[in-house]
Structure 1
Amino acid sequence: MLNYGAIANKPHVFQSLTGLKIEEFQQLLPRFEQAWNEYVENHHIQGKIRQRRYGGGRKSQLESREDKLLFVLVYFRLYPTQAVQGFLFGLGQPQAHEWVHKLSAVLNAALGYEKQLPEREPHRLEAVLRQYPSLEFIIDGTERRINRPKDKDDQNQYYSGKQKGHTVKNNVISHRRGKVVFLSDTYEGKKHDKAICDEEDYQFPPKSKLWKDTGFQGYEPKGVTTLQPKKKPRNGALTEAEKQRNRAISSERVEIEHQIGGIKRCKIVVDKFRNRTAHYVDDVMETACGLHNFRLTYRQLATA
């Protein structure tokens, strides 16, 4: 049975299973315990009439705080079926399902306490971006595959011609040489990247510089200098100068591809998403961004 004690002295295995180094795990653990205690207080103690105190009765296989955090990190990192997740930790599938959703919320709260979650509200975006004096940002869209919806109208809305499958989509904004600072709402795969920008009405600080790709063709927020590779004209060709400029822009913009790659260390946002619980497809993307930001911040501090 998998537990913290079994792999705490195996750093390579530990990082492969969780996506975090053991030191990073220990850094996150106090915040996770804080979030767990608040969850228990809010959901199991307040307003409850009990015959015995919370925690009485048969002991859980996930009794320690370390095992709880390990459980949810393994789920995000590897995204096994819940039957397999339960088998790994000595639980049945129904218990694994309950713990997955309970501890996902706790992990998200812990990352919030660490101030690693991206902003989600577009009306607060400008204020958040003002915290970065360079005022240089990169925007990109990312898609994730989902199971085909049962409803025919939903099948049409979630079908992505680019991915040739049913997907959901988010826009991501990061600052240069930094972490993900904003994550859009989760939209159906048919929706265009620029349409998400228009709908959420992003506002940037004046004199900002924004790198974008051709998926944002025509997106020109007020007071912002945008840099985008030039499309090859139909039945034409780019000049050598235009090709060089495109390469220069792409070499700067590629940074957000690394950020998205960091987010997608969590297989839960890479593999076809199987869970149909309301809002969970959006919640896991936010948490995956938070885990990426947490890793990035901790490793930057470690090398400073």
Structure 2
Amino acid sequence: MLSYPKVQNKPRVLQSLTGLRVSEFEQLWVSFERAWQDYLEHHHIQIPRARRYGGGRKAQLQDSRDKLLFILVYFRLYPTQEVQGFLFGIGQPQAHDWVHKLTPILNQALGYEQQLPERSPWRLERVLQECVGLELIIDGTERRIPRPKDKDERKQHYSGKKKTFTVKNLLISQRQGKVLYLSDTYEGKKHDKAICDEEDYRFPEGTQLWKDTGFQGYEPEGVKTHQPKKKPRNGELSEADKERNQEISRERVQIEHHIGGIKRYNIVVHPLRTRTVTLPIL
């Protein structure tokens, strides 16, 4: 049965299971423990009970480090709940309950750690003003979903780029830093620029924004944008244009690393089976 004491002294195993080093796990656990105690206070201790909290049969996941390990393993490996329960010595119904119980607690802990990106477009400008430097990168990413049964829904979610059914999000990250903003989730067919126009992002004056050709024509007010130049029809790019495109690509690749870091967690790569789970950004 998996437990934190068994992997605490095996850093490579812990990182393979959770995506975190031991020091990162311990740092996150402090906030997770705080979020867990808040959950207990509001959902168990303060409500009228026939017996005090803690009575009765003991849960299998007693230690909060084991609880954190449980939910991180679920997001990292994304096994079926039957397998997840087997790994931790519980049944599938208990695994189901723990997944839905611990996911919002992990979200809250990541909020305490200030690791969650902003989700509201109208608050984006205020968040960016608090950043050191205003050099940002914007890009989109797609995730597969099960094939919709409805014909019209299939048309909306079919991505010509991925040749499958997807949903799409936009991300805005610092040039040298973390993801600052995650858009709402849209059908895979929706164009990147159309999402920008719909969410109407506002940037502080003097912002520099790196983008790819999927944002052709997107020029926010007061922002200096950097975008690769497309090859003209029946023509060729000049050597200067090719060099400039390479410079922009070297800057933009940083957001690809950020997206790749998030997608270490298979739950944001594989088609989502648990529809009611709100995924944290790790």
Query: TM-score, normalization: structure 1?
Result: 0.90
1:112 aligns with 111
CA distance in 2, matches of 1:231, 1:103: 47
1:96 aligns with 95
Letter in 2 for 1:175: Q
1:294 aligns with none
CA distance in 2, matches of 1:84, 1:207: 51
Q: Does 1:33 align with 2:33?
A: yes
- Moved beyond 3 Å, runs of 4+: none
Q: Does 1:5 align with 2:5?
A: yes
2:142 aligns with 143
CA distance in 2, matches of 1:50, 1:124: 40
Q: Does 1:155 align with 2:154?
A: yes
Letter in 2 for 1:183: L
1:244 aligns with 243
Change in 2 beyond 3 A, CA 1:152/1:44:
farther
1:180 aligns with 179
Change in 2 beyond 3 A, CA 1:4/1:152:
same
Segment of structure 1 superposing worse, 178-187 or 154-163:
154-163
CA distance in 2, matches of 1:154, 1:94: 32
Q: Once the 2 structures are TM-superposed, how far is the Cα of residue 154 of structure 1 from its aligned partner?
A: 2.0
CA distance in 1, matches of 2:151, 2:127: 39
**Deviations 1:55-92 (Å, cap 9, x if unpaired)?**
32111111110100000010111111111111101111
Is there any run of 5+ residues in structure 1 with no aligned partner, and where? 292-304
CA distance in 1, matches of 2:219, 2:164: 30
RMSD of aligned alpha carbons: 1.2
Letter in 2 for 1:180: V
2:49 aligns with 50
Q: Once the 2 structures are TM-superposed, how far is the Cα of residue 274 of structure 1 from its aligned partner?
A: 1.7
SS of residue paired to 1:172:
strand
- Percent identity over the alignment is 69
Letter in 1 for 2:104: A
CA distance in 2, matches of 1:160, 1:43: 42
Q: Once the 2 structures are TM-superposed, how far is the Cα of residue 164 of structure 1 from its aligned partner?
A: 1.0
CA distance in 2, matches of 1:115, 1:68: 21
1:17 aligns with 17
Q: Once the 2 structures are TM-superposed, how far is the Cα of residue 207 of structure 1 from its aligned partner?
A: 1.2
**Deviations 1:38-62 (Å, cap 9, x if unpaired)?**
112222343x332112232111111
CA distance in 2, matches of 1:40, 1:233: 62
Change in 2 beyond 3 A, CA 1:10/1:140:
same
**Deviations 1:6-46 (Å, cap 9, x if unpaired)?**
11111110111011111111111121011111112222343
* Equivalences for residues 275-290 of structure 1 within 5 A: 275-277=274-276, 280=277, 283-284=278-279, 287-288=280-281
CA distance in 2, matches of 1:153, 1:83: 34
1:60 aligns with 59
CA distance in 2, matches of 1:109, 1:126: 23
CA distance in 1, matches of 2:157, 2:90: 34
CA distance in 1, matches of 2:78, 2:272: 9
Segment of structure 1 superposing worse, 165-174 or 145-154:
145-154
Q: Once the 2 structures are TM-superposed, how far is the Cα of residue 121 of structure 1 from its aligned partner?
A: 0.8
Letter in 2 for 1:77: R
Structure with higher helix content: 1
Letter in 1 for 2:66: D
Q: Once the 2 structures are TM-superposed, how far is the Cα of residue 124 of structure 1 from its aligned partner?
A: 0.9
Q: Once the 2 structures are TM-superposed, how far is the Cα of residue 241 of structure 1 from its aligned partner?
A: 1.4
CA distance in 2, matches of 1:192, 1:70: 38
* Equivalences for residues 219-298 of structure 1 within 5 A: 219-277=218-276, 280=277, 283-284=278-279, 287-288=280-281, 291=282
CA distance in 2, matches of 1:212, 1:78: 31
Q: Once the 2 structures are TM-superposed, how far is the Cα of residue 236 of structure 1 from its aligned partner?
A: 2.1
Letter in 1 for 2:37: N
* Equivalences for residues 62-81 of structure 1 within 5 A: 62-81=61-80
2:84 aligns with 85
Q: Once the 2 structures are TM-superposed, how far is the Cα of residue 162 of structure 1 from its aligned partner?
A: 1.0
CA distance in 1, matches of 2:247, 2:31: 41
Letter in 2 for 1:208: T
Q: Once the 2 structures are TM-superposed, how far is the Cα of residue 175 of structure 1 from its aligned partner?
A: 1.0
* Equivalences for residues 127-142 of structure 1 within 5 A: 127-142=126-141
Letter in 2 for 1:231: K
